[in-house]
Amino acid sequence: MAEVEISYQGPNGTQQLFQLHEILADLSAGNCGATKSKGDFGKISVPDRAELMSGMKFNPTSENQWLILQLSISNDVVPGPHSYSFTFNQKGNKSEVKGFLKVKDRYLEGLSGLNFYTDFWQFPIAMADYYKINPWSDQHWLEVEKMFNQLSAINQHSITTQVFWDLYNTKIRPLDQMMIQIKKSSSGKYSYDYSTFDRYVLTGMEKGISGQISVHNLFPWNKFIFYYDESKGKVVSLQTQPGSAEYNEFWKPFLQNFEEHLKSKNWPRKTVLFIDERDPGQTIMLAKWVKEIAPGLSMGYSGDFNSTLSSLMKDYSTPVNVVIQPSELSKRILASQKTSIYTSCFEQPNQPNILLSSDLRDIYFLTQLSKARGYDGYLRWAFNLWSSEIEKSAIYSDLPSGDAHLVYPNGQVSLRYLVLEDALEEISKLELFAKISNTASMINAINRYFLINIEKDRFQMVKAMKNYLND
C-alpha cells in the first residue's frame, strides 16, 4: 500500500506517531503452568506492538490500520479552547480529523517527582537470547541502556539483579554470563566477581533508576544454586533448601562478602534481597538467618500478606485481591517500608490486569487502586521475557499472553506501555488534588473491594475519576 503522510495544524507542540501491529494472543487469563498447558483457549489478534515512526508518515500493513497520534502541548500555549486537525494524505487522497483541546492553566512537572513507582522485573539475558548476541557484550550493553531508558520513562523504581543468570535459571549457562560470577577453588574456598553486577547497577542509575537494587535467587522457585567448580572445570548445580547444611555452606560466605562489597559502593541501604511467592514460614526463617549473618542486608517479598513476615520485609508486594489492614499498613509506613500491589497470571478474566486480553482501562484502575490504598507503587514480574516469536505472537505454553512482557524488541513499546504512561500522569494529577476534599471521596470510591470483580462498575469508576482529574 502507498505511504500515508500526516500533517498537523493546531496549538504549538510536538507530535509522535506510533504504528500499532497486531499480536496473536490467547484468552487464558487465570491459567498458569499446568492449567495453561492442558487447556485449549480461544485466540485473538490484538493491536499492541507500538512502532515509533520517524516522521509523521507510515506504510499501512492492512486496510484496517491502528495508529496512536501523541500530541504534547508547549508550555507557552495560552490556556483555553484550541482547535486542531490532522490531515492524512495518501497519493493525493486526503482525509481530515478535527477536534478541540481545552488547555488548562496548570502544569505537570513530569513523572520524575511522582510519589508513586512502577517495578517491572528485567530479563537482560532473554534480550541477548532474542538478538542472538553474547550476554554482556558491547552490543548487549547497548540494548540494556535502551531498556533502562524505557523503564525510566514509566517511573521505574528498582534495578532487577540476580546472583546467577536470571530470576529462574532454567538452564546452565557459562560462568561469564553470570551477573555475579561465583567460583569454588579446589580447596573449597569461594571467590566472587561483581564486575557485571556493578556495571548493570550503575547503568540503571545513570538512566535515573536509583530507588532500589533488587537481588533475586536467594530462595528461587527451583531451589538451585550454581557455581564454577575449578576442580571439575565446569559450572555445577545443586538443589538446596533454606536451612540445610548445603544451603548455609554456599550462601553464608556469599552474603557476608556481598555485604562488604555493597558497603564499598555505598549501596547497602538501596539493596533488597527479593523473594518471590515462596513459603512464608521458610521465608521468615530465612530472613532471620540473613539478619544474623549479614545484618546490613534488607529483604523484600511478593505474595500473600503475613504480619510476621511484613515486619521483616523492607519491600512487600501483595496481589490485588489482598487487602492489608490499616493497622498493619501503618506499621509499615512508620517503619519507612515500601508496599505495592502486583498482578500476575492468576487473576481471572473479569479481574483487572495488564494482559493482552485485558481492558486498557484496567491500567488506570490498578495504579489508582494502589494509590487509594496508601501504597507506594505497582509491581509486575516481567518487563521483557521474550520468546523468539514475540513480534508476532505472545502465546506461551504456560502463561497468558502479555504476562511476560510490556515492551518489544528493537526499541518498540506496547500500547499497554503508552497507556501506563498516561495512567501515571493521572496519578500525578491526583497528587496535585490531594488537599481538595473531593479527592478523598474519589479515592475512597475507587478503593471499594467489589470493583475488583465487577468490570462494568470498575470502568464507570475509572471514567468518573478521569472526568474529575481533567475537569
Contacts with 72 (C-beta within 8 Å, 6 or more apart), sequence order: 13, 14, 15, 16
Per the domain annotation, does 399 fall within a domain? yes
β-sheet bridge partners, residue 47: 22
Residue of 346, 215, 355, 324 whose CA lies nearest to 271? 215
β-sheet bridge partners, residue 275: 301
Per the domain annotation, does 40 fall within a domain? yes
Per the domain annotation, does 188 fall within a domain? no
Q: Residue 353 belongs to a domain with what CATH number?
A: 3.20.20
Clarify whether residues 460 and 356 are in a common domain. Answer: yes
Alpha-carbon distance of 62 to 82, in angstroms, equals: 33
Contacts with 336 (C-beta within 8 Å, 6 or more apart), sequence order: none
The structural domain count of the chain equals 2
Per-residue pLDDT of the chain (471 residues; tens, 9 = 90+): 799 999 999 999 999 999 999 999 999 999 999 999 999 999 999 999 999 999 899 999 888 899 999 999 998 999 999 999 999 999 999 999 999 999 988 888 778 789 999 999 999 999 999 999 999 999 999 999 999 999 999 999 999 999 999 999 999 999 999 999 999 999 999 999 999 999 999 999 999 999 999 999 999 999 999 999 999 999 999 999 999 999 999 999 999 999 999 999 999 999 999 999 999 999 999 999 999 999 999 999 999 999 999 999 999 999 999 999 999 999 999 999 999 999 999 999 999 999 999 999 999 999 999 999 999 999 999 999 999 999 999 999 999 999 999 999 999 999 999 999 999 999 999 998 888 889 999 999 999 999 999 999 999 999 999 999 988
Clarify whether residues 62 and 154 are in a common domain. Answer: no
Clarify whether residues 364 and 327 are in a common domain. Answer: yes
Q: Which residues of 49-75 are buried (b: 16+ CB within 10 A; e: fewer)?
A: bbbeeeebbbeeeeeeebbeeeeebee
Clarify whether residues 313 and 363 are in a common domain. Answer: yes
Clarify whether residues 128 and 170 are in a common domain. Answer: yes
- In which domain, by residue range, is 75 found? 4-103
Clarify whether residues 67 and 137 are in a common domain. Answer: no
Per the domain annotation, does 111 fall within a domain? no
β-sheet bridge partners, residue 100: 83
Choose the final residue of a domain: 103, 128, 163. Answer: 103
Alpha-carbon distance of 306 to 282, in angstroms, equals: 12
Per the domain annotation, does 437 fall within a domain? yes
Clarify whether residues 161 and 44 are in a common domain. Answer: no
Contact by Cβ (8 Å): 358, 99: no
Contacts with 300 (C-beta within 8 Å, 6 or more apart), sequence order: 214, 272, 273, 274, 275, 313, 314, 315, 316, 317, 338
